[in-house]
A and B are shown apart, each in its own frame.
Chain A
Amino acid sequence: MVTDYKALKNGGFMRQVQKDLFSLRLKVVGGNLTTDQVRVIAQVADRYGSGHVHLTSRQGLEIPFIALKDVETVKGELAAGGVDAGVCGPRVRTVTACQGSGVCPSGCVDTLALAQGISDRYFGRVLPHKFKFGVTGCQNNCLKAEENDMGIKGGYLIEWLSEPCLFCGICAKACREGAIRVGEDDLALDRSKCNHCGRCVKSCPADAWKAQSGYLLSFGGTFGNRIAKGEEIFGIVTDLETIYRASDAALDFFERHGQPGERFRATIERAGWDGLKKALIDRGLGDQAPNGQATGAQALGE
């Protein structure tokens, strides 16, 4: 029997140490599965696996010890239960996300909706090498946005309202960047220090901080054989359409300039950060100036 391991891998079957046994990777978006899906997965793991599942490092789920002869049956039973196979190899991988503003009090954006949108748009798209997206809801960065080839981090664009302000100083205490100074009856905000964490907004007892949700985008993160932090090239963006224009530009750039087996970071460094920056500017990045804040290109870390 000739086994097309590449085809199996494309379908999420990871070859195991044990001959003719595979660990089946499942499709998960933002770390969420319904209980119906979990039940189907449990049944399949009992029937065709070894009665356990593995939680992967990126919110994925795998069913190990699936025999080669059962591969098609297993896929069929999972699909009938609303569970799709995941992907491996040189393509857009599982889109990860924290729970975001729908669940977490710290969240500034709806991470799960965005992760779903990104996954619907790109999941499985073939590229020179793997490509990972991660979405985190705030500066706490539980999801580690900058580990990803493209990371998205939620934040707030803030504006102080003098009328409702109690001048209690709680926001100044909540701010970890030292961007706010509160006097007896005045308040000063140093925007150059603001990192959009939104702690002032969340802590204010008088709703004296107005917030608009925004997204900080990072590019070129990788955390495997080589470790490099994704770089923010532009300032905070405030609409989903701009995110998708940026991700379209990043993937197109990788497709055009990447060599087979080369991670996005290596492509950017070989083709030049300026090239990626230009590709992003060509799609309209850096044009926005929400709340009068400059979002022009920032100095790139070398």
Chain B
Amino acid sequence: MAAKKDLPEPEAGVDVTDVVCPMTFVKAKVALDGLEPGQVLSIRLSDGEPIRNVPRSLKDDGHRVLGLTDNGDGTYDLLVRKGED
């Protein structure tokens, strides 16, 4: 079992709270394109549709979701390790 505090420091961050689905996923994908496999990206997401769909889409694309932090203001930070291309 992994505890929440074990989360690694991200190499980069992207805020997708300014766009709506499906652009949330597209923006996250573009940010991941700039990283090497194995590097970690922090994605700031809004509640609702983005938090329901983006983690799942990233998983389906072969990336590894490491954890989610509730910022308490209706946004969340999702940590994702980039998968192999």
Q: Which A residues fall within an 8 A CB radius of B?
A: 105, 162-170, 173-174, 176, 184-185, 199, 202-206
Contacts and interface: CB of A to CB of B under 8 A. Distances in A.
A168 B60 contact: no
B65 A205 contact: yes
B66 A173 contact: no
B31 interface: no
Label chain A's interface by main secondary structure.
loop
Contacts, number: 50
Given A163-B1, A165-B1, A205 B70 contact: no
A185 B1 contact: yes
Given A184-B4, A185-B3, A205 B64 contact: yes
Contact of A173 (B1, B4, B52, B64): B52
B1 A168 contact: no
Nearest to B80: A205
Interface string B49-85: 0011001100110001111101000000000000000
Interface of B: 1-4, 47, 51-52, 55-56, 59-60, 64-68, 70
A169 B66 contact: no
B52 A203 contact: yes
B10 to A, nearest CB: 15
18 contacts: A165-B1, A166-B2, A166-B4, A166-B66, A166-B67, A167-B3, A168-B4, A170-B51, A173-B47, A173-B68, A174-B51, A176-B52, A199-B56, A203-B56, A205-B64, A205-B65, A205-B66, A206-B65
Name the residue among B1, B3, B47 with the largest chain A CB count within 10 angstroms.
Answer: B1
Contact of B56 (A162, A164, A174, A206): A174
B65 A170 contact: yes
A206 to B, nearest CB: 8
A170 B1 contact: no
Contacts of B56: 105, 174, 199, 202-203
B67 to A, nearest CB: 5
Contact of B59 (A164, A176, A203): A203
Nearest to A164: B1
Contact of B68 (A162, A164, A168, A202): A168
Contacts of B55: 170, 174, 203, 205
A169 B70 contact: yes
A166 B5 CA distance: 11
